[in-house]
């Protein structure tokens, strides 16, 4: 087993998933604003330490994706966060993509930046204690989009990123996110998800990325937020858990190579309950179909939102917030085994 496959199997350990705590300062600020929390570097550090220091959380978390600022920060114990997490049996990852830019010729679409200077950043991040990385691409569904050009360009950049990470001794998590925004049907989402992943894996093959030494972070096949299938239309139109699970797994079966060790889901606009129930259903269906991949989670808001609300920036709320987080991780970890019930 190579060092990278060892890290991959640790990240995909049964009964565990990954916390995405890699929100940029601006995203973190928006979430803090909701609860009137002061938007300072120290409050962000305090918030992340609240999450990372929650008792028993390593039972359900194998890794945590950090933001550049957090990777460099220290816990109140004086330990750098990667060391603080490592002592708890949790691996540290790092978001390495940068902002997006408009796609030439298709201004409604975007491609992710970050390849420039990537090798140097990877070397430094490895030195600071990161063992894995993440790169997110954004795919929108709309009138005439996504275009082949958008899928191809994002696929190429994801492949170049993955190859660079493996060369630097870090496990890449490739995240081509098909956004929830829109009025599209579940069938349209399945079609776009299938095509997005197929194109990305074509580019991975061309770039000679070792698929056994990486992880896919994927969206689920879901009807658009403004679609009647989300439950906003007439009775009986809402897509069921079973329909979502089957559509998602059909997309994977059609596009994800069997040698991929695992797939982790993003929560992308779903409520904590939706993200948990849907994961649970997908895992149960995947077991029935005897699919080859370990399927689990890499959630951000679906794990953090109830905790942030419970904390609201107040010291006296830390214990309650940590209890909330411990429960959310435990529920989601059970769902990653198809054993969730509420």
Cβ atoms of 304 and 64 within 8 Å: the answer is: no
Cβ atoms of 96 and 174 within 8 Å: the answer is: no
Q: What is the pLDDT of residue 229?
A: 82
**Phi, psi of 109, rounded to the nearest 5 degrees:** -105, 165
Is 175 one of the annotated active-site residues of the chain?
yes
Residue 195 predicted with pLDDT over 70: yes
Q: Indicate which residue of 95, 134, 163, 217 is catalytic.
A: 217
Q: What is the pTM of this model?
A: 0.97
Mean pLDDT of 165-189: 97
Query: How many angstroms separate the CA atoms of 195 and 255, rounded?
Result: 7
Q: Which domains does the chain have, with CATH numbers?
A: 3-335 (3.20.20.70)
Residue 211 predicted with pLDDT over 50: yes
Q: Which of 131-145, 185-199, 204-218, 234-248 has the lowest mean pLDDT?
A: 234-248
- Residue among 136, 123, 134 at smallest CA distance from 172: 134
Q: Which of 3-17, 91-105, 221-235, 274-288 has the lowest mean pLDDT?
A: 221-235
Q: The tokens of 126 are what? A: 């490895």
Q: The tokens of 223 are what? A: 């009807």
Residue 81 predicted with pLDDT over 90: yes
Cβ atoms of 159 and 200 within 8 Å: the answer is: yes
Query: How many angstroms separate the CA atoms of 243 and 236, rounded?
Result: 13
Strand partners for 319? none
Q: What are the tens digits of pLDDT across the range 129-161?
A: 999 999 999 999 999 999 999 999 999 999 999
Q: The tokens of 337 are what? A: 């085994």
Is 16 one of the annotated active-site residues of the chain?
no
How many CB atoms are located within 10 Å of the residue 250 CB? 15
- Cis amide bond preceding 304, omega within 30: no
What's the whole-number average pLDDT of the chain? 96
Q: What are the tens digits of pLDDT across the range 223-232?
A: 999 888 876 4
Q: What is the pLDDT of residue 300?
A: 97
Whole-angstrom CA distances from 172 to 11, 34, 184, 212 are 11, 32, 30, 11
Q: What are the tens digits of pLDDT across the range 27-37?
A: 999 999 999 99
Cβ atoms of 115 and 159 within 8 Å: the answer is: no
Full 3-state SS string of the chain: CCHHHHHHHHHCCCCCEEEEECCCHHHHHHHHHHCCCCCCHHHHHHHHHHHHCCCCHHHCEEEEEECHHHHHCECCCCCEHHHHHHCCCCEEEEECCCCEEEECCEEEEEEECCCCCHHHHHHHHHHCCCCEEEEEEEECCECCECCHHHHHHHHHHHHHHHHHHHHCCCEEEEEEEECCCCCCCHHHHHHHHHHHHHHHHHHHHHCCCCHHHCEEEECCCCCCCCCHHHCCCCCCCCCCHHHHHHHHHHHHHHHCCCCCCEEEECCCCCCHHHHHHHHHHHHHHHHHHCCCCEEEEEECHHHHHHHHHHHCCCHHHHHHHHHHHHHHHHHHHHHCCCCCCC
Cβ atoms of 86 and 101 within 8 Å: the answer is: no
Q: What is the pLDDT of residue 231?
A: 60
Q: Indicate which residue of 23, 49, 175, 285 is catalytic.
A: 175
Q: What are the tens digits of pLDDT across the range 236-281?
A: 478 999 999 999 999 999 999 999 999 999 999 999 999 999 999 9
Cβ atoms of 277 and 247 within 8 Å: the answer is: no
């Amino acid at each position: 087993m190579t060092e990278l496959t060892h890290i991959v199997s640790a990240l995909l350990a049964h009964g565990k998933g990954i916390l995405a705590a890699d929100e940029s300062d601006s995203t973190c600020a928006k979430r803090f604003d909701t609860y009137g929390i002061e938007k300072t570097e120290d409050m962000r550090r305090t918030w992340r330490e609240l999450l990372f220091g929650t008792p028993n959380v390593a039972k359900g978390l194998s890794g945590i994706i950090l933001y550049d600022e957090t990777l460099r920060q220290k816990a109140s114990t004086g330990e750098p966060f990667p060391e603080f997490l490592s002592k708890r049996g949790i691996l540290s990852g790092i978001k390495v993509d940068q902002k997006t830019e408009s796609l030439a010729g298709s201004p409604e679409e975007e491609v992710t930046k970050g390849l420039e200077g990537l090798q140097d950043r990877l070397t430094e991040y490895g030195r600071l204690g990161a063992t894995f990385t993440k790169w997110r691409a954004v795919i929108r569904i709309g009138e005439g989009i996504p275009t082949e050009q958008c899928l191809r360009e994002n696929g190429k950049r994801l492949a170049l990123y993955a190859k660079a990470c493996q060369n630097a001794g870090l496990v890449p998590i490739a995240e081509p996110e098909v956004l929830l925004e829109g009025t599209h049907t579940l069938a349209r989402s399945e079609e776009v998800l299938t095509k997005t992943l197929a194109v990305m894996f074509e580019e991975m093959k061309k770039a000679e990325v070792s698929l056994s030494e990486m992880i896919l972070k994927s969206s689920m096949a879901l009807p658009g937020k403004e679609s009647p299938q989300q439950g906003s239309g007439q009775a009986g139109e809402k897509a069921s858990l079973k329909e979502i699970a089957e559509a998602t797994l059909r997309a994977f079966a059609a596009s994800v190579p069997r040698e991929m060790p695992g797939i982790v889901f993003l929560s992308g606009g779903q409520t904590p309950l939706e993200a948990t129930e849907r994961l649970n259903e997908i895992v149960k269906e995947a077991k029935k179909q005897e699919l080859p991949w370990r399927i689990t989670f890499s959630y951000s808001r679906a794990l953090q939102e109830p905790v942030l609300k419970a904390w609201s920036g107040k010291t006296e709320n830390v214990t309650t917030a940590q209890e909330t987080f411990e429960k959310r991780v435990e529920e989601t970890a059970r769902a990653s085994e198809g054993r969730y019930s509420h």
